[in-house]
Structure 1
Amino acid sequence: MAEVKFKGAALHYELEGSPAGPPLVLIHAGVATLRMWDAVVPALGADHRILRYDTRGFGLTSTEDVSFSDVDDLLAVMDAAGIERATLIGASRGGRIAIDAAVEHPDRVAGLVTVGSNPSGFPDVELTERENDLFDVLDDLLAAGDLERLNRLEAELWAAGPTRDVLELDPAFLETAYALNAANVRHAGDAPRAVPIEPPAFERTVDIEVPSLFIVGEHDLSTELAATEYLLSTVPDSSGATFPDTAHLPSVERPAEFVRVLGGWLGAHGL
Structure 2
Amino acid sequence: MSFDRINGIALHHRVDGPEGAPTLVLINSLGTDYRIWDAVVPMLAGRYRVIRYDKRGHGLSEVPPAPYRMEDHAADLLALLDHYAVGEALVVGLSIGGQIGLGLAAIDQNRLAGLVLMDTAHKIGDAAGWNGRIAAIETDGIASIADQILSRWFTPAFRSPDNPAFRGYTSMLVNSPSQGYIGSCAALRDADHTETARNLEVATLCMVGDQDGSTPPDLVKACADLIVGAKFEIVEGAGHLPCIEQPEMTARLIGDFAGEIFGNGAAS
Whether the TM-score (by the shorter chain) exceeds 0.5 is yes
TM-score bracket for this pair, using the shorter chain length: 0.7 to 0.9
Counterpart of 1:157? 151
Distance change (3 Å), C-alpha of 1:123 and 1:251: closer
Distance change (3 Å), C-alpha of 1:168 and 1:242: farther
Corresponding letter in the other structure for 1:92: S
The TM-score with structure 2 as length reference comes to: 0.82
Runs of 4+ more than 2 Å apart: 63-68, 121-125, 137-144, 146-150, 157-161, 164-170, 189-196, 221-227, 268-271
User: Contact conserved, 2:56 with 2:64, CA < 8 A, in 1?
Assistant: no
Alpha-carbon distance between aligned partners in 1 of 2:193 and 2:259, rounded to the nearest angstrom:
27
Structure 1: state its 5+ residue gaps.
Answer: 126-131
Counterpart of 1:84? 87
Provide Cα deviations, 1:234-254, integer angstroms capped at 9, x if missing partner: 211210110112110011111
Indicate whether 1:43 and 2:18 are aligned.
no
Shift of 1:199: 8.9
Counterpart of 1:229? 221
User: Contact conserved, 1:18 with 1:45, CA < 8 A, in 2?
Assistant: yes
Provide Cα deviations, 1:51-102, integer angstroms capped at 9, x if missing partner: 1111011001013337661111111111112212100001001111011212
Counterpart of 1:32? 32
Identical amino acids, percent of aligned pairs? 25
Distance change (3 Å), C-alpha of 1:50 and 1:139: closer
Corresponding letter in the other structure for 2:147: L
Structure 2: state its 5+ residue gaps.
Answer: 264-268
Shift of 1:180: 3.1
Distance change (3 Å), C-alpha of 1:140 and 1:64: closer
Alpha-carbon distance between aligned partners in 2 of 1:19 and 1:50, rounded to the nearest angstrom:
10
Counterpart of 1:14? 14
The TM-score with structure 1 as length reference comes to: 0.81
Distance change (3 Å), C-alpha of 1:206 and 1:100: same
Alpha-carbon distance between aligned partners in 1 of 2:237 and 2:64, rounded to the nearest angstrom:
40
Alpha-carbon distance between aligned partners in 2 of 1:179 and 1:215, rounded to the nearest angstrom:
26
Distance change (3 Å), C-alpha of 1:154 and 1:49: farther
Counterpart of 1:142? 137
Higher mean displacement: 28-37 or 256-265: 256-265
Corresponding letter in the other structure for 1:188: S
Root mean square deviation, CA, Å: 3.2
Provide Cα deviations, 1:176-222, integer angstroms capped at 9, x if missing partner: 421432441xx2245758778x9942122121111111011111126
Counterpart of 1:246? 238
User: Contact conserved, 1:4 with 1:80, CA < 8 A, in 2?
Assistant: no
Counterpart of 2:108? 105
User: Contact conserved, 1:156 with 1:166, CA < 8 A, in 2?
Assistant: no
Distance change (3 Å), C-alpha of 1:109 and 1:140: closer
Alpha-carbon distance between aligned partners in 2 of 1:141 and 1:70, rounded to the nearest angstrom:
23
Counterpart of 1:188? 178
Alpha-carbon distance between aligned partners in 2 of 1:38 and 1:224, rounded to the nearest angstrom:
24
Shift of 1:112: 0.2
User: Contact conserved, 1:159 with 1:174, CA < 8 A, in 2?
Assistant: no
User: Contact conserved, 2:64 with 2:179, CA < 8 A, in 1?
Assistant: no
